[in-house]
Structure 1
Amino acid sequence: MHNIAIYDTTLRDGSQSEEIHLSTADKIRIACKLDDLGIGYIEGGWPGSNPTDMSFFKEIKNYELKTSKVAAFGSTHLANSSPETDKNLQSLIAARTEVITIFGKTWDIHVQEALRTTLDRNLEIIHNSLAFLRPQVAELFFDAEHFFDGFKANREFAMACLDRAVQAGADSIILCDTNGGTLPHEVGDIVAQVRKAFPHTVLGIHAHNDGELAVANSLQAVQNGVRHIQGTINGYGERCGNANLCSIIPNLEIKMDIPCLPQGCMAKLTNVSHVVSEIANVRSFHRQPFVGKSAFAHKGGVHVSAVQKNPKTYEHIPPALVGNKQRILLSDLAGQSNILFKAKRYGFDLDKNDPFVLELLSELKHRENRGYEFSAAEASFELLLNRVMGRSRDYFKIIAFRVFDTQRSEDDDPFTEATVMVKVGGMVEHTAATGMGPVNALDNALRKALQRFYPNIATMHLVDFKVRVLWDLKNDDGQFAGTASQVRVLIESRDQHTQWVTVGVHYNILEASRQALEDSINYKLFKDDQAKLTRALRDRDQ
């Protein structure tokens, strides 16, 4: 089996996702990550459509890419013009890329109703556009738009479009499932027919995900002779997205034994997925196969017990192959295996019959029954574990707190002030602070009270704050509590070294926030103490 060329179109198709907007700087950063991953082709955008894409093609020339070739994307010339006068084709040439990809209509309904021209004229447009570009570029690709729908509607015309593209000198013909509604068995059958008709032409696949089949269709196309796959990182794209390269690449390399990246590069895949989502300002999809945070997460006690003996029992690949890692979650489904695994990770080698394990498991189930979510807030669990084991001290105690929220007039912003009384050792600190809302005011007051005792808390800051209403919880009368429901607050914090999540639960949102804030600061102080102890032991041994 030949190697598969991976053609990434995140910077063009991916940016057409409704929640994504990429600046030139964003595109450069993503392109560099794709090059480091070993992607063969990077489609930078459509230079004739907007200034950002043209700026990208100019700026990317300042970077020496190791493995990737940059492609400019555009369309065939307009029906009422010629290649020599078409501004779109001129912009493609002006981008001065190694590769140019243009798309053309191959579905008769598009030719007649969208272009408002004849089928014969469309064949001329495809041939003339590619023939005009051929001398100007090292590699020339033709995206046969709506090919699968076009083939099913008018096989003779769709195939004639491909024939004209091959005659004009296209290096690769990419069959596009633009509406994303073709089924895998249809893709396999149609690709096989095209392969037979054009045995010496490199075929590609460009699948959209409207039927949740873009990855399956891409792999099916490979099975029937395709050697070029187009897709995006994380499956970003218009409507339901494009074929997800983060699933296609490991399926090809691990499951089908077909190389598509330089050796050793696939272990970077998870990092690239997360970096691209950060740059695109889209939260990572935890349950994304292969690279998602939950892809190798185990929650049920039976599962945990099994994967500890042999990971193959519940993992279809070793997560390290794609740069991911196994995670053991904690919940009310957790058994002793979960507790033992987590305890060992935090430095406690316990026996399953140890009273500490039974106490911790009982406390864990009790808290999660009230709405705590330790699988998402491992810092709170680590504190709980160390408290049960007697290894974590109380750094401070909140004796009382109060929050005032007032609005002087309808047009003014609310004014928020919090007061706290905190006991540290034998000393009591009573102070107040204002803030942007009640949680921020409480955070500011708490920090102000603790600052002189623990100055290192100045290095930590809040990264994310989430509130979830637990609608499944009911009041004492057995009715759903509505606005009086329990709420779960998750607070994500970080310092210069690490990032952590803590949790609080209560029917009062401020109390839930107080719990999560208190855990967050305690965790920071606890980890700093551990770091000091580690340094002291190392210095002593030296």
Structure 2
Amino acid sequence: MGKRKIEIMDTTLRDGEQTSGVSFSAAEKLTIAQLLLEELQVDRIEIASARVSEGEFEGVKGIMSWAEAKGYADKIEVLTFVDKGLSIEWMKKSGAKVQNLLTKGSLNHLTHQLKKTPEQHFAEIGEAIALANENGIATNVYLEDWSNGMRNSSEYVHQYLDFISTQGVKRILLPDTLGVLIPSETFQFISEITQKHPNIHFDFHAHNDYDLSVANVMEALKAGVHGLHVTVNGMGERAGNAPLASTVAVINDFMPEIEIGVKETSLFSVSKLVETFTGYRIPANKPIVGDNVFTQTAGIHADGDNKNNLYFNDLLPERFGRKRKYALGKTSGKANIEKNLQELGLQLNQEDLKLVTQRIIELGDKKETVTKEDLPYIISDVLDSHTYQEKITVESYLLSHAKGMRPSTTICLKIDGQIIEEHAQGDGQFDAFMNALTKIYKTKKMTLPKLTDYAVRIPPGSSSDALCETIITWVNDGKEFKTRGLDSDQTVAAIIATQKMLNVIAV
């Protein structure tokens, strides 16, 4: 027995746009529509609501013009209303060919919002469908508030389904409009409907108010539903809709009897593009598409991955066009660092690896984010420390910078076991530090090298502000040398570089 083919209908451009603060331009809608159908290869897309605005109209016209040329016209759907032909007129002018007619799926909505009897509502729906047929427009129907309809007025829902099954509609769309269903109800309600109407195509449209949308999708499929409505990044009103990426992964991994055509490897790139267009940020821990979901932080996990991928599951990042990362921070441990070094093509002996690990843990304790790009800088800093013996240390310092006052620094220096404290002002905090240091060296009748160059950089490609490398060039007795300092603070990095210089000249 072959697999059961399920249609995936993406409604990011219609229902997803109801996310608070989100509005796509016509050009953005066209780009997303093209990616959904050609790159992700979803079966259908719902792109707009009829009669909403001039911008919406122009957006639909643009998409339909492209879709007609590509042969996709029957894959593009628009939400319409029972409005005595106004929506159909709008559809004709825009070029749209499939309407998703919004009708009442609960007696509560029908009675209190429309204030009509079922018979009155059915008659108007029949007229809207007939008018669409006359104008070459195919019809799917939404049963708005269907989930509450099944809970509180199932007789009305079945009366409606008996009527609509005679109207020649293409699909019946069952929305959990208010996101109230639990999985067991989803299975029960859809089983009841699909068994009674085995020849009708039913779609399920889940909302995520209780974070149950994907669980409800699974139960709807088990109950025999034929299509699913999803959005990129789970966008939508309130808590959003069933997310496309999670839905696809769950079906592919746990429902082998079901076939879908969505291309997994494009999920992440389309997700990021939609994030960019909307400004609606994807949570870092959102399954499949979140920034952190393929990042191992704990060192024991990286160690296990080194020893036979012990902490892998079926959600391999490569499936979604992504790569596994190993976070660097206070919990990372040597194994995480080794994984990152492997990617950079670097190797360290165990002693140096231990020192680098310690440095990363120190940065992690400061709540700094350390990236793979920072690693060469940390290694350089740690290995550089091998080149001299630490005889002189900056024990403590106080840097102050206040409006209307010259920057000043108080430092406490330890030279051969002796603590010396000094205070000075300068043109900047580091200049004040150097002035205080000069005072100390004068009292010891010692001279300092001349500072000839001061450069600051962050690791190229690093999106983190965790590390800043300060490189200072000194001239001592006619010989030039450089020292480096590494810290999240530029001035502190310069002080570290200066302490290294003091030890180099003390040799």
Q: Do these two structures clear the TM 0.5 threshold for a shared fold by scoring above it?
A: yes
Describe the shift of the 1:17–1:290 C-alpha distance in structure 2 as closer, same or farther (beyond 3 A): same
**1:355 is aligned to 2:358:** no
**1:167 is aligned to 2:166:** yes
- 1:187: Cα distance to partner? 0.5
Question: Which sections of structure 2, spanning at least 5 residues, go unmatched?
Answer: 386-398, 405-426, 435-448, 469-485, 495-507
Describe the shift of the 1:327–1:105 C-alpha distance in structure 2 as closer, same or farther (beyond 3 A): same
Q: Which residue of 1 aligns with 2:300?
A: 302
- 1:389: Cα distance to partner? 4.4
Question: What are the within-5 Å matches in structure 2 for residues 64-213 of structure 1?
Answer: 64-65=69-70, 69-77=75-83, 83=84, 86-137=85-136, 139-213=138-212
**1:311 is aligned to 2:286:** no
Classify the secondary structure of the residue corresponding to 1:302.
Answer: helix
Q: Which residue of 1 aligns with 2:56?
A: 53
Question: Is contact 2:373–2:462 with CA below 8 Å preserved after alignment?
Answer: no
Distance 1:517 1:252 in 2: 52
Question: Is contact 1:301–1:338 with CA below 8 Å preserved after alignment?
Answer: yes
Among candidates 456, 460, 463, match of residue 500 of structure 1: 463
Classify the secondary structure of the residue corresponding to 2:114.
Answer: coil
The aligned amino acid for 1:142 is V
Q: Deviations over 1:484-509 (max 9, x none)?
A: xxxxxxx9x98xxx56323169xxxx
- 1:307: Cα distance to partner? 2.0
Classify the secondary structure of the residue corresponding to 2:35.
Answer: helix
Distance 2:299 2:96 in 1: 54
Question: Is contact 2:77–2:99 with CA below 8 Å preserved after alignment?
Answer: yes
130-139 or 33-42: bigger deviation: 130-139
Q: Which residue of 1 aligns with 2:471?
A: none
Describe the shift of the 1:512–1:125 C-alpha distance in structure 2 as closer, same or farther (beyond 3 A): farther
Distance 1:53 1:517 in 2: 54
Describe the shift of the 1:253–1:87 C-alpha distance in structure 2 as closer, same or farther (beyond 3 A): same
Distance 1:102 1:312 in 2: 50
Describe the shift of the 1:514–1:313 C-alpha distance in structure 2 as closer, same or farther (beyond 3 A): closer
Q: Which residue of 2 aligns with 1:261?
A: 261
**1:43 is aligned to 2:49:** no
The aligned amino acid for 2:219 is Q
Count of matched residue positions in the alignment of Structure 1 and Structure 2? 424
Question: Is contact 1:300–1:334 with CA below 8 Å preserved after alignment?
Answer: yes
Q: Which residue of 1 aligns with 2:215?
A: 216
Describe the shift of the 1:515–1:39 C-alpha distance in structure 2 as closer, same or farther (beyond 3 A): farther
The aligned amino acid for 2:12 is T
Describe the shift of the 1:267–1:134 C-alpha distance in structure 2 as closer, same or farther (beyond 3 A): same
- 1:513: Cα distance to partner? 7.4
Question: Is contact 1:299–1:328 with CA below 8 Å preserved after alignment?
Answer: yes
Higher-Rg structure is 2
Describe the shift of the 1:358–1:157 C-alpha distance in structure 2 as closer, same or farther (beyond 3 A): same
Question: Is contact 2:369–2:464 with CA below 8 Å preserved after alignment?
Answer: no
- 1:162: Cα distance to partner? 2.3
- 1:518: Cα distance to partner? 8.2
Classify the secondary structure of the residue corresponding to 2:259.
Answer: coil
Question: Is contact 2:16–2:231 with CA below 8 Å preserved after alignment?
Answer: yes
- 1:402: Cα distance to partner? 9.4
Q: Deviations over 1:275-318 (max 9, x none)?
A: 11111112222211122222221111221111223336332322
The aligned amino acid for 1:192 is S
Give the percent of matched residue pairs that are identical in Structure 1 and Structure 2. 22
Classify the secondary structure of the residue corresponding to 1:372.
Answer: coil
- Using the size of structure 1 for normalisation, the TM-score is 0.71
Q: Which residue of 2 aligns with 1:275?
A: 273
Q: Which residue of 2 aligns with 1:385?
A: 379
Distance 2:34 2:43 in 1: 12
Classify the secondary structure of the residue corresponding to 2:285.
Answer: coil
Distance 1:133 1:62 in 2: 20
Distance 1:337 1:66 in 2: 52
Distance 2:305 2:101 in 1: 48
Distance 2:269 2:381 in 1: 34
Question: Is contact 1:134–1:169 with CA below 8 Å preserved after alignment?
Answer: no
125-134 or 319-328: bigger deviation: 125-134
Question: Which sections of structure 1, spanning at least 5 residues, go unmatched?
Answer: 78-82, 392-400, 407-417, 430-448, 458-490, 506-510, 520-542
- 1:372: Cα distance to partner? 2.0
Over aligned residues, Cα RMSD in angstroms?
3.4
Distance 2:373 2:4 in 1: 48
Question: Is contact 2:299–2:336 with CA below 8 Å preserved after alignment?
Answer: yes
Distance 1:154 1:297 in 2: 47
Distance 1:274 1:336 in 2: 32
Distance 1:250 1:324 in 2: 14
Question: Is contact 1:38–1:67 with CA below 8 Å preserved after alignment?
Answer: no
Question: Is contact 2:77–2:96 with CA below 8 Å preserved after alignment?
Answer: yes
- 1:390: Cα distance to partner? 5.2
Question: Is contact 2:103–2:142 with CA below 8 Å preserved after alignment?
Answer: yes
Distance 1:312 1:73 in 2: 48
Distance 1:342 1:325 in 2: 12
Question: Is contact 1:402–1:419 with CA below 8 Å preserved after alignment?
Answer: no
Q: Which residue of 1 aligns with 2:490?
A: 515
Question: Is contact 2:14–2:49 with CA below 8 Å preserved after alignment?
Answer: yes
Describe the shift of the 1:361–1:421 C-alpha distance in structure 2 as closer, same or farther (beyond 3 A): closer
Q: Which residue of 2 aligns with 1:443?
A: none
Distance 1:243 1:13 in 2: 11
Distance 1:96 1:517 in 2: 64
Question: Is contact 1:379–1:501 with CA below 8 Å preserved after alignment?
Answer: no
The aligned amino acid for 2:290 is G
The aligned amino acid for 2:313 is E
The aligned amino acid for 2:357 is L
- 1:230: Cα distance to partner? 0.7
342-351 or 104-113: bigger deviation: 342-351
Describe the shift of the 1:310–1:271 C-alpha distance in structure 2 as closer, same or farther (beyond 3 A): farther
Classify the secondary structure of the residue corresponding to 2:463.
Answer: strand
Question: What are the within-5 Å matches in structure 2 for residues 411-450 of structure 1?
Answer: 428=452
- 1:336: Cα distance to partner? 1.6
Distance 1:117 1:379 in 2: 65
Describe the shift of the 1:517–1:60 C-alpha distance in structure 2 as closer, same or farther (beyond 3 A): farther
